[in-house]
Amino acid sequence: MDSGLYKTITFVCFILIGALLKTKIKSKAELNGIKKIILNLALPATIFIALLGVEVEWDLLFLPIMALVLNILLFLATPIMLPLLGIARDTSEYRTARLLIPSLAPGLSCFPFVLEFLGENALAKVAMADLGNKVFVLIGLYIVAMNWHYRHRNVKKRKGSKLVSLSKVLVSEPVNLFIGAALILLALGFTMDTLPVLFGDILKKLSLIMTPLVLLFIGLGIKFKRKQFFQVFSMLSIRAGLVFILGGLFVASIGLNSLETILLLLAFGLSSCSFWPYAHISTVESLELEDDQKRTFDSDLALNILALSFPLSTVLILGVLNTGTLFVSPINIFLVGGILLGIGLIYPVVSGIAKKTSLQNVTNSKVKPNIPKPVEAQSS
């Protein structure tokens, strides 16, 4: 068994263990305790180490730009996709899906397989591309989430006042403090190797608990309903289909014929949804705890998207990396993209037909047939 597949099975097992632990960890307070450890310790340490480990290669600067463009295109596509799946605009579900769908988590679902199938040089390119994705999910989606929070709560503030409020939230979050500190140290030329050994060891050990805790938390938080399962599956299938279509357009437009680059492009775009938008959702929820109004986001839906995204992305990435020279031709990329879009549209089509049939049955049952009364025989 190759190491990439082995890691994936291990990750899936952590999610399953989390689901089994539901019988032992039932209260919301216990779940919130785990979430606070993730958001206030493990995630800040992980992103701090990741940022200080960045090696910017200026000749590959187009890679993070391409990744950022992909994020933005997926974000812009969601307002068209979600209403097709029965998710109404301006709802907590709609805002949650818009935040999760364009995010990517290549570290969990893409890096192990790229390393196994394509080697260290390919992994370095994907890691470079992930810089653009990090900018989008850490900064871009955070600003979007906070703006939606203000708009949903009808918080009417001047631009300057809103900027001050946003700055206060930014400063109060441990993740943002660690990001700021890492960027300052990076600008001054520091790396993890030049930091004090004790400080570095503490951060590395905190980072080690990140992946297991996140996967266990996802397993503990899964609350799939039948309708929502099919909605999320369709959502992720359409997302994958769009990645193939966009990848095919890029390959065809520039005449790309490097098999390794094409496979990297597709594998990176098919990465599972990131945990970071969930962190932003949790930040917004902490601001809404004492308010009885409807929440800006739906954290349960966010966890369900994360739970289904990981195994589905793994299957698709493994499929792409095992296809040999199939995707050298843009036609094959478009074909697979079309198939995935078709799979994603099965649920809304079937749901629409079922709803139409149900409405017709209700209408027919309300309309009473006009049967003429029998004419009584006249007495002779």
Q: What is the pLDDT of residue 96?
A: 96
Q: What is the pLDDT of residue 163?
A: 59
H helices present in 103-225, as ranges: 106-109, 111-118, 120-134, 141-152, 159-172, 174-187, 197-208, 210-221
> Among 94, 93, 170, which Cα is nearest to 139's?
170
> Among 113, 112, 127, which Cα is nearest to 63's?
127
Could you count the other beta carbons within 10 Å of the beta carbon of residue 320? 24
C-alpha span between 229 and 227 (Å, rounded): 5
Look at residue 70 and tell me whether its pLDDT is greater than 90: yes
Instruction: Tell me how long the chain is.
Output: 380
Which single residue is written with the structure tokens 């027919």?
364
Query: Are 296 and 92 spatial neighbours (Cβ–Cβ below 8 Å)?
Result: yes
- For the residues 293-299, what does the mean pLDDT come to? 86
- For the residues 1-27, what does the mean pLDDT come to? 78
Query: Are 239 and 320 spatial neighbours (Cβ–Cβ below 8 Å)?
Result: no
Q: What is the pLDDT of residue 10?
A: 82
> Among 183, 173, 192, which Cα is nearest to 41's?
173
Calculate the average pLDDT of the chain: 83
SS (H, E, C) 63-76: HHHHHHHHHHHHHH
- For the residues 92-121, what does the mean pLDDT come to? 88
C-alpha span between 78 and 93 (Å, rounded): 12
Query: Are 137 and 99 spatial neighbours (Cβ–Cβ below 8 Å)?
Result: no
Q: pLDDT tens digit string along 31-54? A: 888 888 887 888 788 878 877 776
Q: What is the pLDDT of residue 380?
A: 39
Which single residue is written with the structure tokens 């503490």?
202
Highest mean pLDDT among 18-22, 117-121, 219-223, 297-301: 297-301
Look at residue 56 and tell me whether its pLDDT is greater than 70: no
Q: What is the pLDDT of residue 5?
A: 67
Q: pLDDT tens digit string along 306-324? A: 989 988 898 899 889 888 7
Look at residue 157 and tell me whether its pLDDT is greater than 60: no
Look at residue 195 and tell me whether its pLDDT is greater than 60: yes
Look at residue 289 and tell me whether its pLDDT is greater than 80: no
Q: Which amino acid is at 66?
A: M
Q: pLDDT tens digit string along 242-271? A: 999 999 999 999 988 889 999 999 999 999
Query: Are 220 and 22 spatial neighbours (Cβ–Cβ below 8 Å)?
Result: yes
Could you count the other beta carbons within 10 Å of the beta carbon of residue 58? 5
Q: What is the pTM of this model?
A: 0.79
Look at residue 224 and tell me whether its pLDDT is greater than 80: no
CA dihedral 182, 186, 189, 193 (to 10 degrees): 60
